[in-house]
Amino acid sequence: MANVVVVGAQWGDEGKGKIVDWLSSQAEVVVRFQGGHNAGHTLVIGDKVYKLSLLPSGVVRKDKLAVIGNGVVLDPHALVAEIARLAEQGVAITPENLRIADNATLILSIHQELDAQRENAASGAKIGTTKRGIGPAYEDKAGRRAIRVNDLADLSALPAKIERLLAHHNTLRRGAGLPEYSADAIYDELASVAPRILPFMDAVWRLLDEKRRAGARILFEGAQGALLDVDHGTYPYVTSSNTVAGQAATGSGMGPGAVGYVLGIAKAYTTRVGEGPFPTELADETGERIGQRGREFGTVTGRKRRCGWFDAVLVRQTVRTSGIDGIALTKLDVLDGFETIRICTGYRLDGEVIDHFPASEGAQARVEPIYEEFEGWSGSTAGARTWAELPAQAVKYVRHIEELIGAPIALLSTSPEREDTILVQNPFEA
């Protein structure tokens, strides 16, 4: 039985919440390994809808251990608020079902201010950040001046660490014409939230090793998508962490051997939130139709998503950079009723045909998609739970995607409902 890593194979918002929830019913442990509260999952369980931003999806199910790994940047106030929201829905979060890595980096108010100031002051194209302090927190982590979860356990040592932090931040603030930040304000912020966070603190790397040795099934839950990876994504229009599957090992404290089956999630079309290149974007009635039928609005920000045809070049590239073993294809039903569907199979760059997405920002902006036209279907795929319930042409579309991306379809999702899934291969039993 393999431990499973779930990653988005596009720019995020691929429907990971439903798939992770389906898999978490088979796992004992669910681990978040990167990102912060800038990415959201929507879970539909029965008649209840849960919207999660920071907590792993497993927390809404009984007898599951949810873990926030060291690769996550944690806003303690956002965590407390999310726990409170779930409590109102009848989900109790306790140290029995949630553990937080003692070496995870904290997001502070100073990070959020800096994030917003940079985005608002940016001239020309903006990155499209959620302004939640994610990037500045990762910068402090790399700069070796971050405040971490374990620092909350020794408040007497905090002043020196805050001083080191502010030596950097107040220099930036002076340069931006902002007032300097008070060390006392940061200390008070941390001291007030410490009692709410410390009960969940643990040496997560050791805990996960014990669970693995005991034979527990572990599910690694990625946030966002591989095309937002700080190394392999559409830089600089990316997030500030690694979102590819390899980060599951680094961001949880487990070795690469703990990563078994890699499941990529991809929509049957493509969406993107925020700025950055998008070769197959449809700024027309067709794009609007896809967006309306797919209810394409961000879980966290509510921002409208940009929509376009399926880009096989990008997903094929993600299959390779994340070592994806199988794909969960979602929202096939959104394409019901289209007479013609287009699939991007390559690009034309400066007159030359290429089969990959270039790393250069300038080249990414210049690529032109090469489309293959595919006959659509008039029947409905919504709610289908077997291949026999799908229109023949829809099955052909799915099989053609498999050929183009070089990976098999392991699951096919036909609605937000958990049961409306066609299972081809169970990742935990692969």
- Which residues form the catalytic set? 13, 41
Structure tokens at 209: 């090793």
Q: Provide Rg for the chain, Cα atoms.
A: 22
- How many whole angstroms from its chain centre is CA 241? 10
Integer Cα distance of 87 and 179 in angstroms: 38
- How many whole angstroms from its chain centre is CA 31? 13
Integer Cα distance of 380 and 86 in angstroms: 35
- Indicate the SS3 state at residue 272: strand
- Indicate the SS3 state at residue 290: helix
Integer Cα distance of 23 and 63 in angstroms: 14
Structure tokens at 338: 């289209």
* Block residue for tokens 């096919």: 412
Report DSSP state, residue 89. T
Q: CA angle, 213 as apex, 211 and 216 as ends, to 5°?
A: 45
Integer Cα distance of 95 and 59 in angstroms: 11
Structure tokens at 286: 């067709």
Residues of the chain by 3-state class (helix, strand, coil), percent to 5: 35, 20, 40
